[in-house]
Amino acid sequence: MLDPTQRFSDRVADYVRWRPSYPAGVIGALRTAGRLRPESVVADLGSGTGIFSALLVPHCARVFAVEPNAPMRAAAEAQLGAKANFTSIAGSAEATTLADASVDLVVAAQAFHWFDPPRARREFARILRAGGRVALVWNERLTDRTTFLVDYEALLRRRATDYEQVNHANLGAQDLGGFFGPGGFGLETFDYRQDFDLAGLTGRLLSSSYAPAAGRPGHDEMLRELGEIFACHQESGRVAFLYQTKQYHGAL
């Protein structure tokens, strides 16, 4: 399997343009529960192109965006580098370079399934201050709510390279329970949606690391079948991804 830190290097532009953000309720829940305050220092680990960091920046004192992939990190810096409370760091969830007991909140949005959990847990515990919290966030694309979503999921299972192996849904409650420890964790869920024309749907597919890139075996066939699925299900030239966004939170 390709090094997880390098999987998105050749698809950053599609990632920036077509990956979803997150529902406003995610940040609202962090603020309401006191996990995110104006004085908070936050580490966004596996921060990628800065999608979640951009939501954090208006609500805290400092965001350390820690990302090992240079092209993705550069995209975040281009968007957020002018923000006084944004700091981009070349590091990983397992080796952040941050100081001991230096952050109040660790977040990982659409990223934790790429981490080495035991090593990441040790690093999270090292950098968190007393009373610090962890929030793990995923946009989970619903696969069976519409006939379009059913056909799209079937396309991925038929044509994507290692979709089933890297799907974050492979992480279960037992895995997360072991990560958070005896104190357990809470879960909040939110609805979210993206609407696409064919160009957007194509870009969204190609932003995924398991989609064969241009010039790779299966790329042309996958896009041809994607076009057929779009033509079958589009309404007024659009189709929709429906998500359930999940935020797991707790102390270590």
In tens digits, the chain (252 residues) has pLDDT values of: 455 555 565 678 888 999 999 999 999 999 999 999 999 999 999 999 999 999 999 999 999 999 999 999 999 999 999 999 999 999 999 999 999 999 999 999 999 999 999 999 999 999 999 999 999 999 999 999 999 999 999 999 998 877 766 556 667 788 899 999 999 999 999 999 999 999 999 999 999 888 888 888 889 999 999 999 999 999 999 999 999 999 999 999
Task: State if pTM tops 0.95.
Answer: no
- CATH number, domain 4-142+165-192+245-250: 3.40.50.150
Concatenated DSSP letters of 138-163: EEEE-SSSSHHHHHHHHHHHHH-SSH
Per DSSP, helices labelled H in the chain are 12-18, 24-32, 51-56, 70-80, 117-127, 147-159, 163-166, 173-180, 198-206, 219-233
**Nearest-10 Cα torsion for 36, 37, 41, 43:** 10
Residue 214: how many other CB atoms lie within 10 Å: 10
> Where along the chain do its domains lie?
4-142+165-192+245-250
The whole-angstrom separation of Cα 246 and Cα 135 is 10
Instruction: Round to whole Å and give the CA distance between 16 and 19.
Output: 6
Q: In what order do the strands lie in the sheet with 86-89?
A: 86-89, 62-66, 41-45, 103-109, 128-141, 239-250, 186-196
